[in-house]
Amino acid sequence: MAAACFLCLALFLQSLPAATNKDRGDSAKRAAEHLKDDFNTPQQFEAAASEAVKAGVAAQTIAEARLVFCCANTVTGPLPDVIGQLRSTLPNWKQSDSLFFHNSNELQGLLSYAQALVAEDTNDEASFEESIKDAFWLDPEAAPIYGKKILSHRKNQQQAKLVLPMNLEIPFSNGGKTSLGELVKGHKAVLLDFWASWCGPCMSLMDELRTRAHKLASSDIVVAGINAEASSDGLSRAKTKAESVRKSKRMDLPWLVEPADGPLTRLLQIDTIPRVVLISSEGKMLYNGYPNDGGLTRALAKLDTQLPRKE
């Protein structure tokens, strides 16, 4: 399983040479460089963006960094505003204020990609196809990233038809077994969070996972963590690692370990983590993606209208 591959877009763009204004003060330079870090949550990025504003970093620089973060982590909520802001500044775009792009075509390519993400989120197939094609045309060097999104989009369309085996036995980390059917019995849905102890982003999101479990309980949605290390380390070692995390992070939610042959990982085609999967009481997949993506927010809101519809 690839570790944190969902950050490949950010890493690709961050490999480009920085082009900041030489006249910036040291504080502004440090704040601008901080925007290139690998943030695990939108809150972490926004904290860095607030510091950049205070330090006097150019609005274009901050907006581009927000665009890169949102695209790399499929955080779609802010994208319509970011797209509008950056497109309005294209006539006066300054390469000297860009941390990520050599020219405006590269920026426009990512803007089109961002538009494709928004279209995918709203099930607008025509707009998705048009936008992803525009992204290819504007920035062909980023074709591998855009091609991967097309493959992922097609996979999600196929998985929407998937019905999971609700009687599959899944071990608890501290002994005993359960099943998806038992977890979701009497509830609207179950949200599985796939994680591994070697995955930095997974571990940094543990507190957020516990908070989410508490909040969703009132919406009749069960949240469970599921360690995905048994296929590589064996079931016994995976249980030991899962127990260690459960105790150290005080996780008071169902704490599972996927069977060693990885049946759920295979069925759900999970090749990157952290990953959450929302499953209905009938075993249908309602969401499969990054924990902080807007698609999950909207999928949860469909189950409970009292939940927010935006990140």
CATH of residue 56: 1.25.40
Q: Does the structure show a pLDDT above 80 at 1?
A: no
Judgement on whether residues 147 and 287 belong to the same structural domain of the protein = no
Judgement on whether residues 153 and 245 belong to the same structural domain of the protein = no
Domain count, the chain: 2
For all residues of the chain together, what is the average pLDDT?
Answer: 87
Judgement on whether residues 70 and 50 belong to the same structural domain of the protein = yes
In a domain, 114, yes or no: yes
On whether the CB atoms of residues 163 and 282 are closer than 8 A, the answer is yes
Tens digits of per-residue pLDDT, 166-209?
999 999 999 999 999 999 999 999 999 999 999 999 999 999 99
Judgement on whether residues 151 and 182 belong to the same structural domain of the protein = no
Closest listed residue to residue 206, CA positions, set 195, 219, 214: 195
Q: What is the 3-state secondary structure (H, E, C) of 221-262?
A: EEEEEEECCHHHHCHHHHHHHHHHHHHHCCCCCCEEECCCCC
In a domain, 259, yes or no: yes
Judgement on whether residues 127 and 221 belong to the same structural domain of the protein = no
Tens digits of per-residue pLDDT, 16-58?
545 444 444 688 889 989 999 888 788 889 999 999 999 999 9
In a domain, 309, yes or no: no
Judgement on whether residues 226 and 189 belong to the same structural domain of the protein = yes
- Domain boundary (127, 158, 189) is at 158
Overall average pLDDT of the 69-82 stretch: 90
Judgement on whether residues 141 and 278 belong to the same structural domain of the protein = no
Position 306 scores a pLDDT of 59
Judgement on whether residues 210 and 139 belong to the same structural domain of the protein = no
Q: Does the structure show a pLDDT above 80 at 309?
A: no
In a domain, 57, yes or no: yes
In a domain, 310, yes or no: no
d(CA 130, CA 168): 40
In a domain, 272, yes or no: yes
User: Which residues partner with 222 through β-bridges?
Assistant: 190
In a domain, 164, yes or no: no
Judgement on whether residues 206 and 139 belong to the same structural domain of the protein = no
Judgement on whether residues 85 and 187 belong to the same structural domain of the protein = no
- Domain boundary (137, 158, 179) is at 158
Judgement on whether residues 174 and 138 belong to the same structural domain of the protein = no
Between 302 and 116, name the one with better pLDDT. 116
Between 156 and 9, name the one with better pLDDT. 156
Where residue 282 sits, what CATH number does that domain have? 3.40.30.10
Judgement on whether residues 152 and 173 belong to the same structural domain of the protein = no
Position 75 scores a pLDDT of 85
Domain of residue 203: give its range.
169-303
- Domain boundary (105, 131, 158) is at 158
Position 20 scores a pLDDT of 45
Would you list the DSSP string of 281-310?
A: TTSBEEEEE-TT-HHHHHHHHHH-TTS-S-
Position 307 scores a pLDDT of 59
User: Which residues partner with 172 through β-bridges?
Assistant: 256
Stated pTM of the model: 0.58
